[in-house]
Structure 1
Amino acid sequence: MKTLLVILCVATVAYADERCESMGGTCQLDSLACVNGHYRSGLCSGGADRRCCVPSIYCGDVQVITRAQWEARDPISKSTMPTPVDLSFIHHTAGNSCYNIDDCCAQMRSIQNYHMNDNGWNDIGYSFLIGEDGNAYEGRGWGVEGAHTSGYNDVSHGMSFMGTYMSRLPNTAAMDACYDLLQCGKDEGFITRFGHCIQGHRDAGTTSCPGDALYNDMQSWPEYC
Structure 2
Amino acid sequence: MSDNQQAITEDQRRRAALIWDYHQMHHPLRPVDVAIGLGSHDLGVATHSADLYRAGLFPTLVFTGGNSPTTAKVFPRGEAVHYREHALCLGVPAEAILLEPKAGNTGQNITLSREVLAAAGITPATVLLVSKPYMERRSFATARKLWPDVEILCTSEPLELDGYMKSIGDEKLVLDMLVGDLQRVIEYPKLGFAIEQQVPEDVHGAYESLIDDGFTSRLITT
TM-score by length of 1: 0.28
- Greater fraction of residues in helix: 2
Greater C-alpha Rg: 1
Q: Which fold has the larger relative contact order, with Cα–Cα distance below 8 Å and residues 6 or more apart in sequence?
A: 2
- Alignment TM-score, normalising by the size of structure 2: 0.28
- Between structures 1 and 2, the one with greater strand share: 1
